[in-house]
Structure formats: C-alpha cells, structure tokens
Amino acid sequence: MDFFAHLGKYILTLKGMFTRPENNKIYWRELMQQCVDLGVGSLPIVIIISVFLGAVTTVQSAYQLISPLVPLTALAQVVRDSVMLELSPTVTCLVLAGVSGSKIASELGNMRISEQIDALEIMGINTKAYLIAPKILSAIIVIPLLVILSMFLAIWGGRTAGSISGILSTDTFDRGLIDGFSTFNLIFSLIKSYTFAFLIASIASYYGYNVKGGALEIGKASTSAVVVSCILILFADYVLAALLL
C-alpha cells in the first residue's frame, strides 16, 4: 500500500509541474543555473570514474581474453561495447544518483523545512513548476552529455592503460575501436541516459519536495532518494536491455 501511496503522490507531484510559467525569463535563468550546477558540479567525479572504468576494463578483459586464438583488436571492441552499452550510462548515472540526487533532495528538503517553498507559494508561484521542472529538464539535458563525455574518457583510459601496461599498442586499439562499430549501441546508450536522468532528478525532487519534519528528515529523504533511484536505474537498465537489445 505504501508503494502505491508513493507512486500516486509522485505522479501528482510531476503533474503539478505542467502549468504556464509566471515569467519565462526567470524560469529560463533557473534552468540554465541548474544545468551549470549539475554539469560543472558533477564533472570531476565523472572524469575520474570514467578514466578508471576504461582502464580497469582493458586490464581485466586482457586477463580473461588474451589467447593466440583471439585477435588483440577484439580487446578494444570489448572495451568499447562494455563502456557504451553498460559502464558509461549505468555506472555514471548510479554515481550521479548519489552526487546530484542527494544534492537535489537535500536542497528541496531544506527549502521545505525552512518554509522557503511556502514563501514562494504565497507569492503566487507554482513551486513544482519553478523548483522541480528545471531540475528534471537540466538533468535530461546535461546527464546524456556527461555520459557521452564519460564514453570518450573511458575509451581513452582503456587505450592508455593498454598501451602503458604493454597489452596492446594504441594503433591496434584504434583499429579495434572501428571494427564492427554499431551506431545503435550509441543510440541505446543515449536512451538509457535520458531514462536514468529523468529517474534521478524526478525521484530526488519528489523526496525533497515532500519532506515533513526537521533536519533529520532531510537526511532520511536524501538517503531514500539515492537508494530508490539506484534500484530503479538498475531495474530500468534490465527492462531497456530486454526490450531493445
């Protein structure tokens, strides 16, 4: 029953966003601000995890795959497809659910507890549209871009790690990258990114916006937002793979 109560409230919260903005300019400015916060704020962690993900994938794949029967270029293909299909969209979004999801939930929770949301309501502003919609839109704009960046960095990390550790030369890696490249993999990765971005921002906003109580509840809402987002990202990951691959 609790699940359905949350689901109903979540849908109502999202439905409440769809009204005409009171002032387009202010909403646009808020959207841009959220894009900068989310993009710039998440960039360092995305860069670090991506480079190491690619590097580790190369080294571990080499450990499992290197044999006289398997061409070295296959290693680059494995790294490329692992990164594009799973590692960059899923792992990056799981990390972003922790970093950005908790930030969104605690920011909105704090605004709720300190009556800042009530103050906006009293002014005649639709707080769901003003506070939640720009966060979801900015996530949908920025997270796929971060995932694309993550793919490039992970592949570069894998290429560099392969070269440094003497597993395969950069030329061989580059040849492997081109062999059997499928554009659909990129599209599939972007579909996942858009889905995960929506889940991260909407779930975190839902938990933050509906906080009741005090400072302790902000922490609980933030934790719930991260846990639920991670579970739903993994669930959506499976569903999309089953449906589209």
Partner 1 sequence: MIKATNLKKSFGDKTVLNDISAEFQTGKCNLIIGASGSGKTVLQKLLVGLLVPDSGRIFYDDQDMTGMGNDERKLLRQQIGMLFQGSALFDSMTVQQNIIFPLNMFSKHSHAEKLKKVNEVLERVNLKDVNKKYPGEISGGMKKRVGIARAIVLNPKYLFCDEPNSGLDPQTSLLIDKLINDITKEFNMTTIINTHDMNSVMEIGDNIIYMDKGYKEWEGTREEIIFSKNKLLNEFIFASDFLQDAKEMRMIEAGKKG
When asked if residue 28 is in the footprint of partner 1 (CB under 8 A), the reply is no
| Displacement of CA 16 from its chain's centroid (Å) | 24
The nearest distance, CB 23 to partner 1, in angstroms, is 5
Residue span 107-126 as binding mask against partner 1, x where in contact by CB under 8 A, dash where not? ---x---xxx-xx-xxxxxx
CA distance 217 to 55: 40
Query: Helix 73-82 and helix 170-178: axis angle, to 10°?
Result: 60
> How many DSSP H helices and E strands does the chain contain?
11, 0
Q: Are the C-beta atoms of residues 111 and 7 closer than 8 Å to each other?
A: no
Phi, psi of 71 (to 5 degrees): -70, 150
| Between 99 and 125, CB nearer to partner 1 | 125
Query: Helix 102-113 and helix 183-209: axis angle, to 10°?
Result: 20
CA distance 67 to 166: 15
When asked if residue 187 is in the footprint of partner 1 (CB under 8 A), the reply is no
| Between 166 and 214, CB nearer to partner 1 | 214
The nearest distance, CB 24 to partner 1, in angstroms, is 11
When asked if residue 36 is in the footprint of partner 1 (CB under 8 A), the reply is no
Q: Choose the stretch contacting partner 1; rule: CB under 8 A; options: 15-23, 171-179, 194-202, 204-212.
A: 15-23
When asked if residue 19 is in the footprint of partner 1 (CB under 8 A), the reply is yes
Residue span 83-112 as binding mask against partner 1, x where in contact by CB under 8 A, dash where not? ---------------------------x--
Size of the site for partner 1 (CB under 8 A): 17
Contact pick of 9, 11, 15, 23 for partner 1 (by CB under 8 A): 23
124 phi-psi bin (left φ>0, alpha ψ -120 to 50, beta other):
left
List all residues 6 or more positions away from 71 whose beta carbon is below 8 Å from its beta carbon. none
Enumerate binding residues for partner 1 (CB under 8 A): 19, 22-23, 25-26, 110, 114-116, 118-119, 121-126
